Amino acid sequence: MPSFMNTASVRETERNGLGSSGRRSTPTVSVIVPTYNRAHLLGRALASVARQTYRDFEVIVVDDGSTDETAEVVKEFASLDIRYIRHENNRGEAAARNTGVLAAKGEFIAFLDSDDEWLSEKLQKQMEVFKHQSPEVGIVYSDMCEIDRNGRRRLWRSPTFMPEDGFFYRKALDYQVYGIGIGSSVVRRSCFEKVGLFDERLSYYVDFDFFIRLSKEYCFYHLREPLMNYYVTEDSFRWVTAAHIGSREVILEKYLEDIKESARTLSLHYWKMGRFLCIHNEVGRARPYLLKAIRAYPLNCKAWTFLMVSVSFPGGHAFRFINRLKKRRKLSGGGAPGDSRGTGL
């Protein structure tokens, strides 16, 4: 994981419309928009930033090696005085966000994926919360509205953690921070100095890993209203099973000594890996993880169920049906959605 003080190998272009916004040279909030080959969607995201009622911010677009018209789209938003930073090669979600964090001038950092959009009062409401909280509150996040490819909207209720909950590292290890959207969040810049940047070894679960580390040192604040639109795009379903399992294994290795303190938590991590492989029709690879989950905690009924189904119905159809039911229930009743987000740029 890179140090906060590392410098990135990037190229920053001249500012688009330098000085045209009239903002202070040291803004309070740095808005970081990482993107890769999403010129057709980037304009929507940037337009939502331009509509913010809170105005004390800078905008940094980190182009992670795009080969489309991304730079041209950025030029269309001269009023935002965008700092456009380009990676010469595609380096991934975590690296793009880290480049933005290292370049940021603001005391607070907000992230917006280039296929999503904010509601106009998002920053205003979150900065108002920070104004009345102690420095121990490191992050303010909100619920989201999920919009599928057919335009259907569903409320995505983020898990609730408040300052009175204190530090909740054990719960975070138990996947209870999974479902907080980084795009719905504003984070103190000092948090990155204390817990580190995003882990560039991870292809998936970049936010989850960061929130685990954050929960050990800072309090969270949940605004219980949707302040952003999260769009389900084709990219949301481009899962690479090897990279997915590899990312989960990195997380398990990083926190293994703490995870092993709870047999149920260790079992949960193994079951999550087995479940993913089952759903993606790799039942043979899934069984060792399911068996590890059962050995760690023999009362893990979900692991037993998936193991028995994998023997009785070796195809992936039964598991995908189970996962669809689970996702529908969580989206309507609260909690994290299914594993469908993708890289999130």
**Distances, alpha carbon 215 to alpha carbons 170, 174, 218, in Å:** 9, 12, 6
Other Cβ atoms closer than 10 A to 106: 20
Check if the beta carbon of residue 213 is closer than 8 Å to that of residue 240. no
CA separation for the pair 6, 288 (Å, rounded): 39
Q: Say if residue 20's pLDDT is above 50.
A: no
The predicted pLDDT at position 317 comes to: 60
In a domain, 342, yes or no: no
Contacts of 220 (CB under 8 A, 6+ apart): 137, 138, 139, 140, 141, 161, 162, 163, 165, 168, 180, 214
CA separation for the pair 93, 98 (Å, rounded): 9
pLDDT over 70, % of the chain: 82
Check if the beta carbon of residue 131 is closer than 8 Å to that of residue 125. no
How many domains, the chain?
A: 2
Other Cβ atoms closer than 10 A to 286: 25
- If asked whether residues 66 and 181 sit together in one domain, one would say yes
- If asked whether residues 224 and 286 sit together in one domain, one would say no
Place of tokens 């740029």: 345
Question: 299-345 pLDDT, tens per residue?
Answer: 999 999 999 988 876 555 666 655 665 555 555 444 444 333 433 45
Q: If 0-12 CB within 10 Å is exposed, 13-18 middle and 19+ buried, where does residue 5 land?
A: exposed
Place of tokens 């983020």: 158
Question: 132-175 pLDDT, tens per residue?
Answer: 999 999 999 999 999 998 999 999 999 999 999 999 999 999 99
Check if the beta carbon of residue 73 is closer than 8 Å to that of residue 43. yes
The predicted pLDDT at position 53 comes to: 98
- If asked whether residues 220 and 319 sit together in one domain, one would say no
- If asked whether residues 159 and 294 sit together in one domain, one would say no
Residue 143: CATH number of its domain: 3.90.550.10
The last residue of one of the domains, among 213, 236, 259, is 236
Which is more confident, 144 or 13? 144
Q: Which domain holds residue 118?
A: 11-236
* Alpha carbon 234 to its chain's center: 17
Whether this model's pTM surpasses 0.85: yes
- If asked whether residues 260 and 118 sit together in one domain, one would say no
